[in-house]
Structure 1
């Protein structure tokens, strides 16, 4: 959104519609009694916010109880008065986000003109709610070192949160990184992210708008929400609370700077003897707020307030890539050097293929050198985009090129807010927020053949209205809107493929011109897809009526949302060409491929083995959501509260505006080509399937105006909540025991929609005789021309001969059954310990289900390579589809036997998205120790021990049975400690307490802060390997030899294929190395005046310079098998200096 539009909207924000979402404000309650603990009815209680003068007034009921809902976070004082009693005043009350602090008041007999003043710390115990969570307050947010300074990173310090994202990508303009954490056993990226209570998400539950840290007041994290107002999430809830204006002008001016001079080289660069490239990260901004005040015209103090924040970032960061490029000799077709490594690297001549039984035999090139006359001119023209190797690499030349390309970002963010206190009965706030980011990244070859230009822009607004009809009836209504737009463009935009020698049709049909993409198994790709543009909008209406009736606080509400995504992904709009080893391996076509070289030889010969050309449709899809909820918080006794809630939820099905989508796959009907295929098959049946049993079933169905849904939703769900909070009288009021149970309904996730027919891919057909001879070549990739989109006109025949995908037509909403039990104990005035348990059982989790795998009876059950089964299934047989599927890989005269053994042989793959069959269970024990700031020290420590098991993946596609395994998100142990300490020097401190103002400016105001995190590593994934038994001697910190590779079969010719797999994909005890990092900061505060503080900061992230290694290579045929070649935190120690002025 242009800055001019932002400023205009901010100026007239009062005219915005009133908006809504889940609650971020608190409810203050308590009892008013006399000195004999007798209830005092009809006492007046007034809560006043210190900084704005906003007041909240009510009276006690017959039991002396009072309740004040919708209290924003902040510092307060409370007064109480009743006839015959002294007035009561309590100060120093800190109200945090979405808390239920209990403040009991005891009045003394006397005159109302007399005032009893009490100064007390805010309660540390939550005695009124079963919800489990934690608030990170403004002091900790301001003082702890945060790399990137993003509010959601603060959530990673909280109870029950397990981060699993790359710490490099936690900057304000990142979307996946800051929200990459799991709460309470839910999958990562499945949490409800709120900004002042309004949804702040884009696709895949990534965060949309990250506000500046200096505009953030608090961050509230809940792993179990007893309030039924919270829903539409399978995970936890994170609510970021923004600052607002006050009666005093206040704000900050800051600049944080990172340079390479304060960084250490990462582990692998240092190991390779490479220097750290020059990089920088400059983050700067300003915040300001105050009352609207126009001298002699309008005095808005105590009534109308404004707040504004701006943040900018200039980022230039080196990104190291270690990859493989062709040598000078290999560019000319000379692969003779590879033979000195092993004879397994032999290159075979594709033009010498002869039929040998049911297979194809080929002769090798003499000396492993391709004759110059066979080199393809387009391939030779591409070679100029490859740099030469710049390091030795492995013995066969793998990883012979290292590049330090620079990723640069430019970012700007603006936030405006107005708060209106019309009266004690009526309050409103509204905000507008925008940001935009541009990034240039991935140009590893420093030319147009690599790189990407990414732009992301956010815009959004929230307006919130609270109206008090009576002290016991309050209506809250909010509306919110957010828009996130992401686009990707390529350096080769506008490139003319005909200049490389491609035929004219490649350019003529392209919807976007770019350099055609080349893909290899062993070498770095050239080119990329043509990019995309994806706007995503979310709208929400939320309204709740709160009714206080004696000991009960009732809340009725509605939550309605609309999600809309408009997208065009251009795909491979000038073609994508994949080079495998099908033409260049030998001596037989089912021989194991060479570890390196054969794919690049295929490229030089101009013989792709796969690929395609895309003509993609745009889409505009939307989905709705509707919920009603009822919450009843009952204070049964003064020390016992029940939280009872019920939420009704319904997801409305996704639709596409113009019905450009597939909405089902009918497996009960015969495909229209079935009669011709069955006739052809009957003439040449294979022994495995008699002619009478061979079938060609299935076809896709399309949305129509009368039935536009992509899928049918199950309909209605009821999610109950129950919780209790009990303060045992015998424990001095310093212990709270709480527990609860709840059902949480997650949204149906639609990862795009299937637009088969409306989007059309022309498949590259490498051969029509099972790779005996080439059909299409790089010089003539599509002999029959480019297929044009047919929409739904072909009906059931659409995409015959290709891979198809469709969404589960009858999905069920995933939901989790969550239980919690724990206790809090206040150890001292400012110290609390909490011990708790969270259990989470999730069902109906989405799984992508392969439906067209070779039937299991035709696969080997042996634990070693079964060459007989491999030979049989890969043998070429008469193709019954010959001539019926032009432009596809199934149109040739022969076909591999395995293709005919599929349930749907007319397709190369059939995949059902989001099958509702996954499940998981989670158990966590957690301990929290928190010391509120006092005596110069604030401390927070959380330890978690957990286990997350899941059934969400399929080990054997043929069996369609889910594998029970430890989850990739499982991190059994996590400890995080954060805190800040004011050093005891300067006025009022242990040393220099009587220092002069000048001396105090020199020696006082020092704060030391830090964050220490240690966490278990992730389970390492395994493929279809042959394990010989015996100990692995697992050491995930040994980068050269992480485990004993001799325990596996490593010969490429002895690997498994065409088999039922038994080896699990993950093991609980085989994990990558744990993370162990510490961040530290030294802050110098200098108060130049009473209201102006100049802050100098020196911060270091990963101060101990600990690498976080990724898992080792588990591919037995790889030359780096058993080695660790990368790290998750692709940075070493990072230093940051800052100047921050607070006024």
Structure 2
């Protein structure tokens, strides 16, 4: 076995994953502090009776790594000395307890007993974070029993997820934490030391599994870890340790109930007179643990243990506030006269009257509909059928033009969820321990059924599973080996609520169109309307697997404890893309109903719906043929770490870590790899000739004919000598780690740390790019700029559908398409440099206070850049709206690509193109995107926390964070060379958290009235109060490009309300005709003084226990109030300076007060 592991180490380098267990180590000395070699040390888990037997080395040192969290007793003996025994040792997740033992001269038969709890200060590590015990997990008021909510209690964390998505089966948002300046959702989460994450978005994680609260033993939240074992993270780690069984049989059953009358209405519901929605909520859980005993067959006491936990939830509740805009009854009949009464800018124009503007070869003019009424005989028959699936308004709306007239504050979401977890621990001997774990859950959610028709409604189904097997072997008194394998499978499928197999001919579409879509993929199409609602779009089926294998060694030598090992991970992702656009995506905007000119300012509302009635979609719609894919990447990581106890009061941790992440591959090479900017295309010569022929009549001085080029195309993986790997490996990821703990006194410790952490480069960062393997057939409404219409809703694809061609077209692939996004083939991993300096001080026997400075510098973030832009030199520097510049860049120029073979979409069919398109470096594409590793951020903070140990009648945790978070990861203007440095959108200057569990002192088990009779004790004894408080500043408001004349300081002045969150009259230009276009931006993304509403939340609970038996069985009733004081957290205001709702807030971002009753029985 040792030779085998040694061969693996030589072949692969080394690294274990984050650890969920703990270590006890120290020195065995005589009274003169001289080490005693070959002393026998026995560490006993008093809950399971399992012994770990050790022998001290030549310096008297011992170490016992990989011990399960729990209660321990340690004994030491050596010939000529009295036996030493110490009880009451509590080992927590990832603890590194230093317990030095002094033996007195005497006979071994004599025993010195010591009972002393371990100090609260951490004298062996520089890591930052906090511990959450089982009592907090199970007894603090948690929404839906979600244990990840407790991460919020750690200093330095901020929650950036959606507070409305807080249930255990919403895996992305419940782990949306930033830790000490890191990007949210980049913290690694482990379950029993095995990765418990899946990929959410680009570079972001989701929780692979959420264990029931009863299954959790402890959680250690490390906001800055300087342990070289920590990897696959931006620097923070959440280690969850499941409970293992003990020699005592234990069990619990819990039922939680919420009723509609126990839930407050939303703030806006009360304001608008909208009643709270009806809902039904039930949650129940059960758990059992103990030794595995089969009467007359097997007795597993002190040897084999099990733990099983189950949780289920059925929930039908309002899904927050949603307000839509639907056409009025008059607008459904084509009557827009009410809008015209508000102003001439609401005029609807008739595309049937379109003609060339006199004296111009590029502009078009059309006449208004008389009275702003479209005759019913002009309605498209498909539009009439589709309209049957759309509702009438609920009210008159909130604006003069009837917007926001379909409020759905109480639209229900229906969810069914259940989960199982099981763990078995077996101890072969004092030198060999093994555990096996399995878990999984099922979720079925139905939501967004706003119209209660096929036009809306989604169904999401999840079926994740996971498990691990772990073996700890003591190979010698100074060498321990841990082998571990873990597997996580995350599955998700999103489908229309009312299913697929939809017959498109029932909407009036011709059979020729319906036959293009396979019946099992046919859905109600996607319809989008400018300034109105959009119908639902689905969906996908994702299957993501994570495999991990770990071999980890711990070696004790002298005063050094060496940790080394390796880990291999494989990430696999199979996806079926079931897009609603398979049945068509139809977009209706003012393109054909604006006027009098084709570039006139659009109406605030109405013109998009008018286009729909006429059946005239714009050219942005399409019918899709998305591609499926099967992608994979691997990671090899290694580390070596020396935990060096320099002196009794000084421990230094020196480590180095190496990470080698393989590039992404696709099983069948269904991906582009690169973009060749100099690729010669067969269309260049005819396109140049056509451009030259029309240039004299439509000169573009910036682009004379001899400079017009049509070059550049995609490069495919595995084709024409290209490698299968989608980019080159970054082999330079060496991460040093340093930690220091210096004990000034027994109660005071100075701690510091520095470490580098690398970001992901493989599948966790991105997906394959499938140009050519997926294909959209663009809708072509016209070939002559609207003088006549080639296709309408009555026949959207007269020429049929285009099937994917794979890599057959080479660099001509998708010429004429909207966007090309390709990989930077020489990526570099982003990295975080994290550091901290802190002082911990124990106060009394059970309290501790810590204050720290924590910093973070992140470098080489990947930023997407469009290479296909006209450049900043073409943007207007005028502080005013520059109509001349807009007219110049939007002017219609004869299309040199029209009719060329291989040119798809409107580029190959339209008569004209805008001048801007022709000025782009790659005029045959709309956008050409790739990543540049130019982003960076920096973070500084003061963090403080106080804690009081659970063993007393009060358990208290409190934290305070004061921070500044700056970021440069976006460009103000498309041609900027470097990203803009400014405030981060996740900057929250202040954060205050607290939690408390307080056992009231009354009754026979308290300190007051201990002599009362049992019948009275049943009433006044056994009461407990608990609660959590979280305050965090609001994030800065995100600004668009702004035309502003005034003092920015005036924006925050004046009274503030939901109707006017800031001073909208401070100098903003409000005329929508002057919306910035082709404008050089100088206005920042964020202003520090203008922020969203802060979060200010109390969750409170009162708990009454009834003792049923003297052996510990009890019944518990708990009343919990989530958001107990009903503090609203308002959403973001409208930030469009040209909107009539500018500065207004119309929704809350959190739930109102919820009261739930909890009934629990346990033994």
Residue 516 (structure 1) aligned to one of 514, 525, 528: 525
Q: Deviations over 1:42-66 (max 9, x none)?
A: 3322111111111122233444332
Match of 2:710 in 1: 696
Does 1:81 pair with 2:73? no
C-alpha contact (below 8 Å) 1:22/1:542 kept by paired residues: no
Distance 1:135 1:506 in 2: 61
Shift of 1:37: 4.1
Secondary structure in structure 2 of the residue aligned to 1:684: helix
Shift of 1:879: 0.8
Does 1:569 pair with 2:583? no
Residue 911 (structure 2) aligned to one of 887, 893, 900: 893
1:541-940 matches, cutoff 5 A: 541-571=549-579, 572-609=581-618, 610-685=620-695, 686-688=699-701, 689-704=703-718, 707-728=723-744, 732-748=745-761, 749-802=764-817, 803-884=819-900, 887-891=904-908, 892-912=910-930, 914-940=931-957
C-alpha contact (below 8 Å) 1:615/1:760 kept by paired residues: yes
Distance 2:283 2:662 in 1: 42
Shift of 1:196: 0.8
Match of 1:369 in 2: 373
Distance 1:21 1:645 in 2: 14
Match of 1:381 in 2: 385
Match of 1:4 in 2: none
Residue 1049 (structure 1) aligned to one of 1069, 1078, 1090: 1069
Distance 2:839 2:254 in 1: 41
Residue 1029 (structure 2) aligned to one of 991, 1007, 1012: 1012
Distance 2:261 2:85 in 1: 55
Distance 1:933 1:663 in 2: 55
C-alpha contact (below 8 Å) 1:770/1:876 kept by paired residues: no
Shift of 1:343: 2.2
Q: Note the residue ranges of structure 2 that are not aligned, 5 or more in a row.
A: 1-14
Residue 952 (structure 1) aligned to one of 943, 960, 969: 969
Secondary structure in structure 2 of the residue aligned to 1:29: strand
Does 1:534 pair with 2:552? no
Distance 1:1120 1:284 in 2: 44
Secondary structure in structure 1 of the residue aligned to 2:944: strand
Shift of 1:1037: 5.9
Residue 461 (structure 1) aligned to one of 433, 442, 467: 467
Distance 2:794 2:993 in 1: 58
Match of 1:484 in 2: 490
Secondary structure in structure 2 of the residue aligned to 1:889: helix
Distance 2:550 2:785 in 1: 60
C-alpha contact (below 8 Å) 1:136/1:158 kept by paired residues: no
C-alpha contact (below 8 Å) 1:21/1:480 kept by paired residues: no
Secondary structure in structure 1 of the residue aligned to 2:384: helix
Match of 2:89 in 1: 93
Distance 1:961 1:107 in 2: 65
Match of 2:9 in 1: none
Match of 2:407 in 1: 402
Distance 1:78 1:1093 in 2: 32
Distance 1:960 1:853, change over 3 A: farther
Match of 1:15 in 2: none
Distance 1:190 1:381 in 2: 47
Shift of 1:38: 4.3
Match of 2:6 in 1: none
Shift of 1:580: 1.2
Secondary structure in structure 1 of the residue aligned to 2:765: coil
C-alpha contact (below 8 Å) 1:1017/1:1072 kept by paired residues: yes
Shift of 1:210: 0.4
C-alpha contact (below 8 Å) 1:21/1:541 kept by paired residues: no
Distance 1:877 1:1076 in 2: 56
Distance 1:673 1:468 in 2: 70
Residue 1141 (structure 2) aligned to one of 1116, 1120, 1131: 1120
Distance 1:74 1:780, change over 3 A: same
Does 1:392 pair with 2:396? yes
Match of 1:506 in 2: 513
Match of 1:3 in 2: none
1:325-474 matches, cutoff 5 A: 325-356=326-357, 357=360, 358-393=362-397, 394-403=399-408, 404-474=410-480
Distance 1:528 1:988, change over 3 A: closer
Task: Choose 24-33 or 326-335, whichever is displaced more.
Answer: 24-33
Shift of 1:648: 1.2
C-alpha contact (below 8 Å) 1:363/1:587 kept by paired residues: yes
Distance 1:1066 1:770, change over 3 A: farther
Match of 2:1059 in 1: 1040
Shift of 1:556: 1.5
Shift of 1:85: 3.0
Shift of 1:570: 2.3
Shift of 1:122: 2.3
Distance 1:1064 1:775, change over 3 A: farther
1:1081-1120 matches, cutoff 5 A: 1081-1089=1101-1109, 1090-1120=1111-1141
Shift of 1:1027: 1.2
Q: With structure 2 as the length reference, what TM-score do the two structures score?
A: 0.94
Q: Deviations over 1:437-462 (max 9, x none)?
A: 00011100011110001001111110
Distance 2:17 2:700 in 1: 63
Residue 988 (structure 2) aligned to one of 949, 962, 971: 971
C-alpha contact (below 8 Å) 1:20/1:479 kept by paired residues: no
C-alpha contact (below 8 Å) 2:871/2:974 kept by paired residues: no
Superposed CA RMSD in Å reads 1.6
Distance 1:417 1:852, change over 3 A: same
Shift of 1:981: 0.4
Q: Deviations over 1:1013-1069 (max 9, x none)?
A: 111001111112211213013589611111122221111112211121111121122
Distance 1:1009 1:193, change over 3 A: same
Distance 1:773 1:866, change over 3 A: farther
Shift of 1:1001: 2.3
Does 1:262 pair with 2:262? yes
Does 1:66 pair with 2:72? no
Task: Choose 419-428 or 256-265, whichever is displaced more.
Answer: 256-265
Shift of 1:307: 1.2
Match of 1:297 in 2: 297
Q: Note the residue ranges of structure 1 that are not aligned, 5 or more in a row.
A: 1-18
Shift of 1:640: 0.6
1:209-224 matches, cutoff 5 A: 209-224=209-224
Match of 1:13 in 2: none
Distance 1:63 1:311, change over 3 A: same
Secondary structure in structure 2 of the residue aligned to 1:167: coil
Distance 1:1098 1:1037 in 2: 36
Distance 2:645 2:92 in 1: 21
C-alpha contact (below 8 Å) 2:814/2:904 kept by paired residues: no
Secondary structure in structure 2 of the residue aligned to 1:271: helix
C-alpha contact (below 8 Å) 1:1009/1:1081 kept by paired residues: yes
Distance 1:40 1:715 in 2: 45
Match of 1:186 in 2: 182
Distance 1:1035 1:839, change over 3 A: farther
Secondary structure in structure 2 of the residue aligned to 1:1108: coil
